[in-house]
Copies of this chain bind each other. A is one copy, B any other.
Amino acid sequence: MIVVKIGGSEGLNYDLIADDLAALVKAEQPLILIHGGSSLTNKVSEQLGHPPEFVTSVSGYTSRRTDKRTMEIFQMVYCGQMNKSIVERLQMRGVNAVGLSGMDGRLWEGTRKAAIKVVQNGRRRVLRDDYTGKVEKVNLTLLTGLLDMGYLPVLTPPAISYEGEAINVDGDRAAAATAAAFNAEALIILSNVPGLLEKFPDESSLIRHIPAKKIDQFMSVAQDRMKKKVMGAQEALAQGIGRIVFADGRVENPISRALEGEGTVIGG
């Protein structure tokens, strides 16, 4: 099993990604796809008059402020436009894709954070009406059932709380949890850069390999959204995934190239 996460930043080429996925499916490579949608969510939030807000946790991680209205817009973009446009691209290429959110069939379950401590505009705040959490359980039975029936699962946040509420979860970390649940050979994380960059945004400073033991040292190199990708990689390694590749989602055959070692290879 290979788990592929397609980032939600601008610049990724979804047609080239779909071409490569179709070729891999044709070669009978077992796959699960996970995607994001953050850039389009920002845009649609602005258009709908509910501009995006970002909060920084006291430990220094940035995340989307997800009140009830943000969750509606989030679902529109992630589960609606993004998910179905990927499903359509795959179906047009003969891949029988099934798009699901982490809520459906409780695919991704976790605890909703009752209160999150954040720093916003330099001030500490406690948010109690935020719908965020972390994937703790993956519904292997449903995913295996779909795979056995010959479908390609295309998964997207949100996940679901134990109480049944939609919760915003980080897509990279959800991908790591999914890869771990399947004991996947590899987790490929496609974004709009060639991998982890020593001197962001200088693409020539690509870090080609990070041994598993040294991953902790690279947290400080990661900028912004890359931080959570590195965190997801740490979690995936800790859960036994042998190889994680941060790779370029703008190029031809992005997944095949990542499997051949292009990008930043972590572990293996």
Query: Given A84-B79, A149-B142, is A97 in contact with B104 using a C-beta cutoff of 8 Å?
Result: yes
Contact A88 B149 (CB under 8 A): no
Q: Does A168 contact B (CB under 8 A)?
A: no
User: In the complex, which residue of chain B has the Cβ closest to the Cβ of A74?
Assistant: B80
Q: Which of A26-81 contact B (CB under 8 A)?
A: 44, 47-49, 72, 75-81
Interchain CB contact under 8 A, B164 and A93? yes
By the criterion CB–CB under 8 Å, are A166 and B101 in contact? no
Please state if B80 and A76 are interface contacts (CB–CB under 8 Å).
yes
Query: Would you call A151 and B160 a contact (CB within 8 A)?
Result: no
Complex Cα distance, B93 from A49, in Å, reads 31
Docked-complex contact B96 and A166, CB < 8 angstroms: no
What is the bound-complex CA distance between A49 and B43, given in angstroms? 13
A145 to B145, CA, bound (A): 8
- Rounded to whole Å, the gap between the CB of A155 and the closest CB of chain B is 12
Contact mask A233-246 → B, CB, 8 Å, 1/0?
00000000000000
* Contact between B75 and A80, CB atoms less than 8 A apart: yes
Scan residues 95-147 of chain A and give those whose CB is less than 8 A from a CB of chain B: 96-101, 103-106, 141-142, 145-146
Cβ contact within 8 Å between B103 and A87: yes
A79 to B141 alpha-carbon distance, docked (Å): 23
Q: Which 8 A-B pairs have the closest CB atoms?
A: A80-B80, A92-B164, A91-B164, A76-B80, A76-B76, A75-B84, A98-B104, A98-B105
For the A-B complex with A44-B48, A98-B142 known, give 13 more contacts whose Cβ atoms are closer than 8 Å.
Answer: A44-B76, A47-B47, A48-B48, A72-B81, A76-B77, A84-B158, A92-B163, A96-B106, A99-B100, A99-B101, A99-B104, A100-B104, A145-B145
